[in-house]
Structure 1
């Protein structure tokens, strides 16, 4: 990548504070997507200032480099550990991408950075193949992307196919995430209730671990859910994923009539009992189910905000929780787009929050 050009009077940088709100990599990812789509250059300072390892990590560096390649951008500060970045996009040249993060960094976060520019600026379907982590803490796991993110995008008129030929866990990485992105423009969406709970399904999977680990996760989840007395079909299967490393995860997915499935993931790590991994997924699922009028889970609430802000027309949706990620994404989007976005906080714990995009 070349050095940045000297700013002209007509090239005003959007300046972002990376320590604002959630203070992680989300501000950078949203800014990269919007910079490519709007042509507006930006500077972000104090990148990931609120994290244990501040500055760019390998997956953030890869997202910047891939975005720069896609948009023929001039970039300054795209190094691991950098806390200050300038990004000046050119015109998008959409094409297939093959990217290797080089660590166990999240492939899902890189894909989400590139998805909208590829979908909205391509004339034919594009393939993105990423190597790195597919199960990461504080990042969308493949099982969430495949079930929930893809389901929401389908509701917005943005078809997407995903595959995981190989799972990637910390510290080995080496997982593979493949995406086929169709050309599409997001459409507005209104959903302020959710339908009846149809069923709960799940998968408890491992890579290169004893068979009883997946079985114990499954049995714990089934036992916890049975204690709750849900009068719906509950089906949890076990799986063995190919991987260069070792790892375990469980995803529990609530299927409601009329909206996208909501998946909640528990992630294993060395020394964590299988039962605790299952408990993490069950606890998140139960928190979501306890807010009966929430159409969108807390993890998706900020992820669907960006395509809806780019859609023509008014969108309204209810959320089970108003998170710092959601508030932060609102502020970042407002820096690039002239859209009115209102977030209404829930009045009581069992009532949903509400997002209105005018």
Structure 2
């Protein structure tokens, strides 16, 4: 069981949480690497670049979740804390629960825990595959975080296709700001060996554009139709054939959704198996048509640079490129600050080496990485 006490601080690596993007992503990736590599670390100046500095409830819940997974000694893991010390042990597969008690994003809780459980050692006390179960509570469709639908339709398909790992996610209940109250269950399999290196440089033509537009609570269905119509018009104006577009319109069932919420996620599928997304969340006082148009503009912008991943996958894949065995090469759009931060942190905490090459006049970037080939520790090593 994880403990909140004064940890032994010998050989602790210090991370300045104000570096580059300086937000919660830096904290999540740093803690995940710490657990995966058994690397003690401390983080100061947490979220120093934000108006409200320090850990939010969601960030603290994520760190506590990983601390449970690897039986870590910790200090400073509470809301508003601007410094954390994290002394990990070997991650263990099992059943884990995280609940920030707010509408904090379930997908961000997944981001910090998923790599750790993926590389936890299989043990005789678990299933033969060593799979773990996560119960994550909070917001499922939140601003400034991937929607749960992104995980379902983009992130997990990416993991399955490129790493031969088959995670599953079940949405028991959707939760919206400010109430939260959503709940998802994630089954994380055990990686039986190192991840394969990525080679994604050819995208191919768009073969389909799919999507999901929704309202929940007391919001009327007409808002969904406005979002869908506006999104379709914007996509068609970009040159994509309307016959390729299929956007599901949903009124969430009151029994499986808490609070009022609305939004839309779109994803384009290509000849080479790439999935590129765009999304938007409904905001009170904003016309639903503008929400649909915003999501479509996001999608079209992510398609315009010709890369094989969108800006959201761009930074999320960095930790997996660093952990994979061999040289990965991925074509993306312009590097986001989140991606630059993820690369900086991966190189600081591991021996992985990244290179980036921008293609002049195209907006296209090639990211290469020589990964470390991480493997799960053996059962014997974990005792």
The alignment's TM-score, normalised by the length of structure 2, stands at 0.89
RMSD: 1.3
The one of 231, 238, 241 aligned to 2:249 = 238
Task: Give CA-to-partner distance per residue, 1:295-328, whole Å, 9 cap, x none.
Answer: 1111101111101111111100011221000000
**2:309 partner SS:** coil
**2:297 partner SS:** helix
1:83 corresponds in structure 2 to 82
2:126 corresponds in structure 1 to none
Q: Say whether the 8 Å CA contact 1:134–1:142 is kept in structure 2.
A: yes
User: C-alpha separation between the residues in 2 aligned to 1:163 and 1:260?
Assistant: 23
**1:138 partner SS:** coil
**1:345 partner SS:** strand
User: C-alpha separation between the residues in 2 aligned to 1:180 and 1:122?
Assistant: 15
1:319 corresponds in structure 2 to 332
Superposed, which structure 2 residues align to 1:14-93 within 5 Å? 14-93=13-92
The one of 254, 265, 277 aligned to 1:251 = 265
**1:223 partner SS:** helix
User: C-alpha separation between the residues in 1 aligned to 2:355 and 2:237?
Assistant: 38
User: C-alpha separation between the residues in 2 aligned to 1:273 and 1:165?
Assistant: 29
Structure 2 portions without partners, runs of 5+: 123-129, 371-383
The one of 166, 169, 179 aligned to 1:162 = 169
Superposed, which structure 2 residues align to 1:280-319 within 5 Å? 280-292=294-306, 294-319=307-332
Q: Say whether the 8 Å CA contact 1:63–1:110 is kept in structure 2.
A: yes
The one of 140, 158, 161 aligned to 1:134 = 140
Displacement of 1:163: 2.1
The alignment's TM-score, normalised by the length of structure 1, stands at 0.95
User: C-alpha separation between the residues in 1 aligned to 2:296 and 2:333?
Assistant: 15
The one of 277, 285, 310 aligned to 1:263 = 277
2:125 corresponds in structure 1 to none
1:344 corresponds in structure 2 to 357
User: C-alpha separation between the residues in 2 aligned to 1:229 and 1:64?
Assistant: 44
User: C-alpha separation between the residues in 2 aligned to 1:34 and 1:150?
Assistant: 20
User: C-alpha separation between the residues in 1 aligned to 2:66 and 2:222?
Assistant: 42
2:369 corresponds in structure 1 to 357
User: C-alpha separation between the residues in 1 aligned to 2:359 and 2:339?
Assistant: 14
Structure 1 stretches of 4+ moved >3 Å: none
2:202 corresponds in structure 1 to 193
2:118 corresponds in structure 1 to 119
User: C-alpha separation between the residues in 1 aligned to 2:277 and 2:186?
Assistant: 19
Displacement of 1:91: 2.3
Deviates more, 1:118-127 or 1:244-253: 118-127
User: C-alpha separation between the residues in 1 aligned to 2:91 and 2:261?
Assistant: 37
Equivalenced residue count is: 353
User: C-alpha separation between the residues in 2 aligned to 1:194 and 1:217?
Assistant: 28
